[in-house]
Every structure is written in C-alpha cells, then in structure tokens.
Amino acid sequence: MPSNSTIHDTLIVGAGFTGLGAAIKLRQAGVDDIVLVERADRVGGTWRDNVYPGAACDIPSLLYSFSFVKNPSWSRAYPSGGEICAHIESMVDEFGLRPHIRFNTEVTGLSFDESAGVWTVTTKGRKKFQARTVVLAGGPLADHKLPDIRGIDTYEGHKIHSAAWDGDYDFTGKRVAVIGTGASAVQIVPELVKTAQSGKVFQRTPGWVLPRLDVQMPEAVQSLFAAVPATQELARQALYWGHEASATALVWKSPLSSLVARLGRAHLRRQVKDPWLRRQLTPDFTPGCKRMLVSSDYYPARQRDNCKLIDWPIATLSPVGIRTSDGVEHHLDAIVFATGYDVHLSGPPFPVTGLGGRSLQHEWAGHAEAYKSASAHGYPNLLFMCGPNSGPGHNSLLVYVEGQLDYAVAGITTILKNNLRYLDVRADVQGRYNEVIQQRLTKTTWMSGCNSWYLTADGFNASMYPGFATQYLRQMRDFQIADYTAHARSESDAGVALDARPRVVTSTA
C-alpha cells in the first residue's frame, strides 16, 4: 500500500516551465488537489540545469514565455538562462504553487490500477503517491549523457557536459576542447575562449548560423508593457507571426529555404574572412533539417588567435587528450562535451505500466506514437507534455506547450467532473492520426537526409510536428470526448450525460 493513502486529483511529474504551467492552468480550471513531484531541490528544469557560460534562449523571451504569465521586465530580447530561471521561480510565488511541490522526489515508475482508475507513482526512497490523473512534464531534454566515444574513460583531464556544468572549475589559462557545434556549443565557445589559454572546437557537422539580433529592452518599453499589457501582447503576436512565416522555409523545403541558406552564407561571409575556414564552416544540408543556430559571436570567437577548428574525426580519447584520425594528439586540460541529450524518444526514463500490464517503454521502444502528442492508447488518464510529434522547428516550444496545457486541462476536467474511472484514447483514432502525421513528415526538411536528435537510429521521426504552430494549436483546442472510450466508476454513473456522447462502459471490476 502506498505510504500516502491520499488519492490526488492530479499528479504532475516535473516542475520546469511546463509542469508549473500545467499546475497554473489546472488551478485556474478549478482543479486544486494537485501535487507536483520534482527530482531536484529547485524548480526550473532545463534552465536550472544548463548554467554553462553564455546560456541564453535563442527565441526571444517575449515569445519564449507563457502568454498567461506576463513579465514586462525582460531585460533583453534574448535574456540569459539565469533571468529565465528567475522568471520560472517567480511563477511559483505569483501563482501560489509552492505548497503543491514535493522537491527531491524522483519518480521511478507509474502504474495504473484499472479497477480503481488510479495511477500509483513510485519514487526513489519509499514514498508513493496516488492520483486519478497524471501529467508527464519531465521535458524531452532533461537527461544528458556523455557520448559513446572510444577511450572516453581513459581520459585523465577534466570532463564536463554542457548540461551539468561544473561552476567550480576555472578555465583560466587552460587548454580546452569543446566537442560539438550545436545550439549549446555556439553559446559556450565565445565565453570559454575569453579566458582559456586555447580552445579547440571539434566539429563533426557545421550548422546553419543566423545572426542573433539581441537588444537591451529600453526602460521606456518595459514601462509601457507594464502600464499597457496589450502592447506586450502585440509585440508577442508580431514575433509569433514572424516565426510562423519562417515555417515556409524551415519546415518545408521551398525557394525560401534557399533564401535562408543565402542569409546564412552572407552571415558567414561577413564574419569570416578566411576562405578555407569559411569552407569548413559551410553546412551541406537543407536549412531547418537540424535546429537553426542563432549567434552573432560564435564565428568571431572561432577566429580568435587562441581558438582552432578541428574537423578531423575524433579517433579516440587518450589519457592526455583527443586523438584525431589524422594521427594528431591534442593535449588538453579539459574537455567540454556539448554533444546533446539523452532525448526521451521512447518515453519517460522510468517504467509506465498501463491497462492490462502493458508497458509504454516496450511499446515505444520501436516508434513512439500518441494521439495529438498528448494521449496514448492503453495509458488512460495520462497526459503527455512535449509528447511524440509535438516539437517545433521554427517557433517557440512554449507556444506548443500552451496548446498541450489546454488539451490536458480539457481531458482532466472531463474525467474529474464526470467522475469517470478512466478515459482511454481509441486505438483507431490514434492510428489514423499518426498515419497522417508520418505521411506529412515525409515532406519536411527534417526528413531530407541529415542526422539529428529529432530522429531515432533507424530514421523514424517521433519528435516533430509537421505543420504550423497555428495548426497544432487548433487541434489541441479541440478536445473531442468521442475520440476516447470513457469508463464510468459504477452502474449508476454509467448513464451520466457527457458533453459529446462518449461510449461509457460500466465497470465490471
């Protein structure tokens, strides 16, 4: 038996942007019996963990924030990770969420009791929780791992991953390598080379880089946003539609994709004068296929006297550094692995047991799929945030999350208000939805031949939503109970009038 016999209305896993957003929206919808479990001792998710020098969002915060949590005081267009984290902390107090959060509580498994209509959530230690509904908001980029490079364990210098920064290590005067040239690396490299004796950047694939048009937010603008919130909303809308328009270049290959490539090459030409280095930094894939990089200081940093680009493949790590396939041994005091995350393409990093003992890990081991990214057949009363095929390639992730929040609130309130035992998405509905998604994906840039974390090892795309944010939001605002089978708690509840005439099956348990 769980040590805590309370059955909560909703349990939320993760207290990052998304989990806190779910708590705010649910409370606004009248669901107050909520518990948030968080494995760390602070809120903030990926923004709490990514404290590497230069960490900042590459989407302007006026758009990379929730529309229902106004912050007129953003200091810049692209604020630092620290400022974003402080904003997330402020959400907790503004919306009175602290009493709902259980810190230092890492989930180890979820299992659904069909007869009771209750999820049991086990955590490290002996504490268990029970809840009628669960929101999984652990985030797709919550876990990192060192890459599988030969000899990695033999290296005797300092190893550090971008997502687990060691703030105590002093890079001053050190010989440092950065492996990787993705979104994290282009932020880290310009900062590291300011103090390191030397910086070597090990590049496997050059990415498309566009300039970052960062500006300080004038006080007058902050005051205007505070006094007339509609002006901030207007600025957000302008950014939203600007990003939406970019889908025509980044999501689908079109003449506008060539325009983005031209912009990228112009940025490179303007900032890098050496033709050989320009050649080394020129990407050879369709813009959008991998995440676009946004930086105005990466190329200049790359040309400092103490910074060197190495594009020979890494053969092995050795006790003293990195050996490349041209036979050169690079002696290093520290290696920074900006090599990405252990992305949860096959579900959360703990077992989830659904109806009839089915295992989500097992079912998603091949290819993850859900209905509208939010519900998976056989796992009732469970709502996914950033679930399968919900990722954007051109707009703010939090715009998509807002759609998921609307959908989760509609599902959870339907269950609670109608006192349902469970609501399970229909297999046929989920199957048809995913056929269309996979068919639409074939026409996107993500499937145009590059290698990215969006795809599984066999090339399946369970990450991205193939469309405009506006289309995604429209589908998420349309919660149709007829897409689900609804199971009543008892005979007497079986006749309850549900909004959209679902199939109500009476419990026989």
CA 122/CA 105 separation, integer angstroms: 10
- Using N-to-C axis directions, what is the helix angle for 229-250 and 255-271, rounded to 10°? 100
By C-beta, is 129 or 299 nearer to ligand NAP?
A: 299
What secondary structure, in 3-state letters, does 65-101 show? CCCCCCCCCCCECCCEHHHHHHHHHHHHHHCCCHHHE
Closest distance to ligand NAP from the beta carbon of 342 (Å): 11
Closest distance to ligand NAP from the beta carbon of 46 (Å): 8
By C-beta, is 182 or 467 nearer to ligand NAP?
A: 182
Closest distance to ligand NAP from the beta carbon of 184 (Å): 3
| Residue with smallest beta-carbon separation from ligand NAP | 182
By C-beta, is 132 or 200 nearer to ligand NAP?
A: 200
Tokens of 141: 């980029």
CB 411 within 8 A of CB 374: yes
By C-beta, is 202 or 484 nearer to ligand NAP?
A: 202
Closest distance to ligand NAP from the beta carbon of 362 (Å): 26
By C-beta, is 134 or 397 nearer to ligand NAP?
A: 397
Q: For residue 108, what are the CA distances in angstroms to 121, 126, 374, 378, 461?
A: 8, 11, 21, 20, 27
CA 293/CA 264 separation, integer angstroms: 10
By C-beta, is 340 or 354 nearer to ligand NAP?
A: 340
By C-beta, is 180 or 354 nearer to ligand NAP?
A: 180
By C-beta, is 34 or 185 nearer to ligand NAP?
A: 185
By C-beta, is 130 or 184 nearer to ligand NAP?
A: 184
CA 101/CA 95 separation, integer angstroms: 12
Look at the block and give the residue holding tokens 């290696």.
335
Element (H, E) at 397: helix 397-417
Closest distance to ligand NAP from the beta carbon of 141 (Å): 5
Half-sphere exposure of 173 (CA within 13 A, CB side): 0
Binding site residues, ligand NAP, CB under 6 A: 57-58, 141, 147, 149, 162, 179-185, 202, 204-205, 291, 314, 338-341, 451, 453
By C-beta, is 162 or 232 nearer to ligand NAP?
A: 162
Tokens of 49: 């963990």
CA 320/CA 469 separation, integer angstroms: 48
Q: For residue 280, what are the CA distances in angstroms to 175, 284, 302?
A: 22, 10, 12
Closest distance to ligand NAP from the beta carbon of 236 (Å): 17
CB 29 within 8 A of CB 413: yes
Query: What sign does the CA torsion over 232, 236, 239, 242 have?
Result: negative
3-state secondary structure of 240: helix
Torsion of CA 108, 113, 117, 121, to 10 degrees: -10
Closest distance to ligand NAP from the beta carbon of 122 (Å): 29
By C-beta, is 185 or 441 nearer to ligand NAP?
A: 185
CA 198/CA 314 separation, integer angstroms: 18
Closest distance to ligand NAP from the beta carbon of 204 (Å): 3
Closest distance to ligand NAP from the beta carbon of 502 (Å): 37
Q: How many residues does the chain have?
A: 509
By C-beta, is 267 or 417 nearer to ligand NAP?
A: 267
Beta strands of 344-467 (E only): which ranges? 352-353, 382-384, 420-425
The full DSSP string for 181-206 is -STTHHHHHHHHHHHSSEEEEE-SS-
Closest distance to ligand NAP from the beta carbon of 455 (Å): 11
Closest distance to ligand NAP from the beta carbon of 183 (Å): 4
Closest distance to ligand NAP from the beta carbon of 325 (Å): 12
Per-residue burial over 76-115, b if 16 or more Cβ lie within 10 Å, else e, is ebbbbbebbbebbbebbeebebeebbbeebebeebebebe
